[in-house]
Structure 1
Amino acid sequence: MTEGSIDGVVVRDLVVHADARGALRELYVADWVPTPAFQQWNLVTSLAGTLRGVHVHPRHSDYLHVISGRLLLGLHDLRPDDPAARRSQMLELDAERPQVAFIPHGVCHGFYFPVSTTYVYGLSSRWSASEENGCRYDDPRLGLRWPTRDPVLSPRDEAPATDYDEMRAAWAASTSRHAESP
């Protein structure tokens, strides 16, 4: 298990048990992460050159595993009372080197796919568009160095309505709303 430079981000190497029949790989064990219950699981395919994000969630944490291909995971900590606040980090997850990554809520993240990739990710609470804030992937205040200047983006990620400061403010406001609700 590797603790990243951002508090709470965990990357764990997975063990593959292989024999003449095939292979078994444990993907998730509840005590591997501080948020042991996940409410939604998604399987995603992304074509080479795609960049998804950068997004941040006020409530849910993410847990991901690359099944085939490779992704570059860009992280930036927005949590104001965390010692790693405003710290950024780039990680690579590759199907050839089986790992899982846990991303706590409050840590912005984006994914770049240098090759076509399939991955699975879990969310600690159901996804809701109203609980996802984001900003443009290349905002310099994120401190993320993506290997491309012309990725394939969704319309939403290509022209988000917010910049870094607006994303931080929206995230802080939505975090406060969740803290006040029962």
Structure 2
Amino acid sequence: MQIIPTPLHGAYIVELEPAHDNRGFFARTFCMDAFAEHGLEQQYPQHSISFSARRGTLRGLHFQREPYSEAKLIRCTSGSILDVIVDIRRDSPSFRRWQKFELSSANGSQLYVPKGFAHGFQTLCDDVEVSYLISTRYEPAFAGGIRYDDPAFDIDWPLPVVEVSERDLRWPGFSE
């Protein structure tokens, strides 16, 4: 696997290096040693998936506050998404910057999101499944979010939003 830095401090794209043969391919999606070499989280006690039926569904922007801040390794296992991360670490050189990535079952790319980022995505097709490795268990009392349409970031989502949870609509703006 290749671990490629992004312009946002501490965030990486993880590219698979499939070994192909007549059966198809085999590839590592995670390796403790490779992650350790790059200073990335190596323990993921929680693994989760999400399924979204409709193109244009939006999930996020989510994070957990300390002491339950979480690093995530995100992979789209069916369909495609536009994944967005926002650096909300006040002491970071990329504070308040965001970046988008297309993750799909076709490209196999994964996104490593360090602690201190808000994360969300929009589905680019119907019937999308996303897999997450998460470094900390979910603690509802420490869950936070930022509205997906917060003018502080002016994220250019590619499609009209057709589905979003009531909870995601209630998140405050970043400056609040």
Place the TM-score, normalised by the shorter chain, in its bin. Answer: 0.7 to 0.9
Q: Which amino acid aligns with 1:63?
A: L
- Maintained 8 Å contact 1:69/1:94: yes
Name 1:163's counterpart in structure 2: 173
Which has the larger share of helix? 1
Gaps of 5+ in 2: none
Displacement of 1:55: 1.1
Q: Residue 113 in 1 paired to residue 113 in 2? A: no
Name 1:57's counterpart in structure 2: 64
- Maintained 8 Å contact 1:35/1:61: yes
Name 2:158's counterpart in structure 1: 147
Gaps of 5+ in 1: 167-182
- Maintained 8 Å contact 1:78/1:108: yes
Looking at structure 1, the residues matched to 41 and 110 of structure 2 have their Cα atoms a distance apart, in angstroms, of 14
Name 1:75's counterpart in structure 2: 85
TM-score normalised over the length of structure 1: 0.84
5-14 vs 23-32, which deviates more? Answer: 23-32
Pick aligned residue for 1:12 from 1, 11, 14: 14
Pick aligned residue for 1:42 from 48, 54, 60: 48
Displacement of 1:153: 0.4
Say how many residue pairs are matched: 165
Write out per-residue CA displacement over residues 61-109 of structure 1, whole angstroms, 9 at most, x where no aligned residue: 1111111211111111111111111111111112111111110111111
Name 2:76's counterpart in structure 1: 66
Looking at structure 2, the residues matched to 14 and 151 of structure 1 have their Cα atoms a distance apart, in angstroms, of 31
Looking at structure 2, the residues matched to 140 and 28 of structure 1 have their Cα atoms a distance apart, in angstroms, of 35
TM-score normalised over the length of structure 2: 0.86
Looking at structure 1, the residues matched to 121 and 30 of structure 2 have their Cα atoms a distance apart, in angstroms, of 21
